[in-house]
Amino acid sequence: MQAAAKHITPVSVILGGKNPCYVDKSCDLTTTAHRIAWARFVNAGQNSLAPEYVLCHPGLREILVRELELCVHEFYGRNPQESEHYGRIASVEHYKEVKDFLSCGTVAFGGQTDDRERFIAPTVLIDVKETDAIMQQEILGPVLPILTVQTLEEAIQFMNRKDRPLAVYVYSNSQKVIAEVLQKTSSGSFCSNDNMIQCLYTRLPCGGIGNSGVGIYGGKFSFDTFSHSRACLLRNTAVECVTYLRYPPYAEKQLHLMQWASSLSRTNRWCNIL
């Protein structure tokens, strides 16, 4: 943005954020777990649109953790380090940052690491506090904290205490619940009953808001973002008998004539002339 400012050039910037995922009691937990596990653990979690944390009712947590673990076994086997479908952290520096997050809360499953390979197993954390380091920074790794809330209102309040994220996710079979989360939160994008796939729809814009970024891209939105829309009006010198009314000196008669001409314009009878 500093470089662009020298040339008075607009920019589109994706900065990331803490994408919340609310899991409602009415959802299909098996499908929900598959979709969350795929989004959080694909590419070893290095996806800016992946869910950063899950909010659910305390009564759901144990079941959701079990379903997520079953998904990891289904996707990557009992030992993900041996799976050809599971990635590694891209850099040593980031590997160390993600590894440090494993000290937050309690490891429900996963947690294995290998410094030589920059390997971190798909991991779910429970008993994480809102003040823990993992809740202050973007994870970009295969670690998913699950926090509990008693009500939907509490979940929305929790989301809104954070900076506005790239995406907000909600899993529910209730359209009322989905609508309430959509209306009462702010994010670059929103997706119900799935994760990350909103970026695949070229008719939807991708982008952030606030601390998660500025500007949008995707499909025609990319063309519009990186193009300059030049306003161009081609006129002629005809109908000066009407347009002269803009010139001073001004009088009540001119005002009335302009109001009359404007009323005709609104009915589209004189649009081309005015």
pLDDT (average), residues 26-53: 96
Q: What is the dihedral of CA 71, 74, 78, 79, to 10 degrees?
A: -90
Handedness of CA 260, 265, 268, 274 (dihedral sign): positive
Percent of the chain with pLDDT over 70: 96
Total length of the chain: 274
pLDDT (average), residues 49-78: 97
pLDDT at 252: 86
pLDDT (average), residues 228-248: 84
pLDDT interval class at 273 (50, 70, 90):
very low
Give the separation between CA 244 and CA 241, rounded to whole angstroms. Answer: 6
pLDDT digits (tens, 9 = 90+) for 242-252: 778 888 888 88
Answering whether pTM is above 0.75, one says yes
Least confident piece of the model among 7-16, 22-31, 52-61: 7-16
CB 38 within 8 A of CB 3: no
CA angle centred on 152, ends 122 and 30, rounded to 5°: 40
CB 142 within 8 A of CB 122: yes
The single-letter code of the amino acid at 269 is R
Q: In this predicted model, which residue has the larger pLDDT, 261 or 161?
A: 161
The domains of the chain are located at 12-222, 233-274
CB 108 within 8 A of CB 125: yes
pLDDT at 94: 97
Superfamily (CATH H level) for 12-222 = Aldehyde Dehydrogenase; Chain A, domain 2 (3.40.309.10)
Give the separation between CA 223 and CA 240, rounded to whole angstroms. Answer: 39
pLDDT (average), residues 89-111: 97
pLDDT interval class at 237 (50, 70, 90):
confident
Average pLDDT, the chain: 91
pLDDT at 118: 97
What is the DSSP annotation of 7-63? Answer: TT----EE-----EEEE-TTS-HHHHHHHHHHHHHGGGG--TTS--EEEE-HHHHHH
Least confident piece of the model among 55-59, 141-145, 220-224: 220-224
Say which residues have a Cβ less than 8 Å from residue 30's Cβ, sequence separation at least 6.
67
- Report in angstroms the alpha-carbon separations of 176 from 37, 56, 183, 192: 25, 17, 10, 12
pLDDT at 267: 59
pLDDT at 33: 98
For residue 270, pLDDT over 50 is answered with no
Least confident piece of the model among 163-167, 171-175, 254-258: 254-258
In this structure, the number of other CB atoms found within 10 A of the CB of residue 149 comes to: 17
Give the separation between CA 179 and CA 152, rounded to whole angstroms. Answer: 12
Element (H or E) spanning 261, and its range? helix 252-266
Percent of the chain with pLDDT over 90: 69
Say which residues have a Cβ less than 8 Å from residue 38's Cβ, sequence separation at least 6.
71, 75, 195
pLDDT at 128: 96
pLDDT digits (tens, 9 = 90+) for 170-221: 999 999 999 999 999 999 999 999 999 998 888 888 888 988 888 888 888 8
